[in-house]
Amino acid sequence: MYKSLKYFKIMKLTDDQLKNIKEQQTQESKTKRVTAPELEKILYEAIPALDHGFIRVIDYMGDDTSIVQSARVSYGKGTKQVSTDSGLIKYLMRHWHSTPFEMCEIKYHVKLPIFIARQWIRHRTANVNEYSARYSILDKEFYLPDPQNLAAQSISNRQGRGDVIEGEQAKEVLKLLKNDAERTYDNYETMLNQKFDGSTIDENKKGLARELARMNLTLNTYTQWYWKTDLLNLMNFLRLRADHHAQYEIRVYADIMLDTLKRWVPITFDAFMDYRVGGTEVSAKGKVTIQKLLKGEEINLEQSGLSKREWNELMEAFEITDKIV
């Protein structure tokens, strides 16, 4: 499914990083704990995201049976059939049970643009350790959108994109993004390397402190972090970030993580896609509206007691396009 390691030389992984991945993938350990065979196949692999980013699964705990075990508070896998486990997991998902899903955990190594990291960190339900630009120097790598993902501000959505920008305008925008990123990084390097001592240069002095020099960098500069979370909060993250309304760049990462979810806990994945991603929530007024429509009764926006946005979202969810106002 994923590109071979040769591809990652284009992605600018260093020889040391490639060597490290090879070493991690060839190591073997005996364990009495449950493992997910399909996830093991891609463990440690750098899966490309955007132009210079990637996601790696580097550790995990538990599988579908761990969820079932927790729900039943039993001593191991027991004698239940897979179909029975599936039914229980679906029940837990359908009724919004939470703690059994918290028994599984996963840890990712993610390389991503800073502006996506700042959006991602809003999900305050994970353990995060980010690359420190106070301690180390950030690489000269910037995210530049593909032309088809370069769009104007949406007129109807304050935090979304509208029509795609094309032709000379697109070239101008990409040029501005590239030039600004390169210029600020060059200045970053200058400040790190220039030796300062008040108004004079002293060979015994060092460059500007890294914690200060970094503030000059653009938000499309790449950073990295380890992100560890439990299964429940991973699904909460994916329900929002793999949605078609989410920003394209973070959705790229979420889509990759969806595949790792399927490899890790396939029964839970199916229930998640059915009840969380493919399902919809309906308010009491929305339920009455749908009931009347099923009975063939006439009902409109004013009669429903819903706001225009609620009405349209309900009609879109049930694909009743002729009722959208």
Residues that are catalytic: 241
Residue type, 17: Q
Q: Give the integer Cα–Cα distance in Å for 89 and 101.
A: 9
198 to 186, 208, 212, 214, 263: CA distances (angstroms): 22, 11, 16, 20, 57
Closest Cα to residue 323, out of 290, 297, 300, 289? 300
Closest Cα to residue 31, out of 55, 57, 60? 60
79 to 35, 67, 74, 104: CA distances (angstroms): 18, 15, 11, 21
Q: Give the integer Cα–Cα distance in Å for 125 and 251.
A: 18
Closest Cα to residue 293, out of 311, 272, 277, 267? 311
Q: Give the integer Cα–Cα distance in Å for 237 and 137.
A: 30
Q: Give the integer Cα–Cα distance in Å for 135 and 83.
A: 51
**Residue with tokens 């039993």, as numbered in its chain:** 74
Q: Give the integer Cα–Cα distance in Å for 192 and 170.
A: 33
- Please state the length of the chain: 325
DSSP-derived secondary structure letter, 315: H
Q: Give the integer Cα–Cα distance in Å for 69 and 76.
A: 6
What tokens does 241 get?
Answer: 């970030």
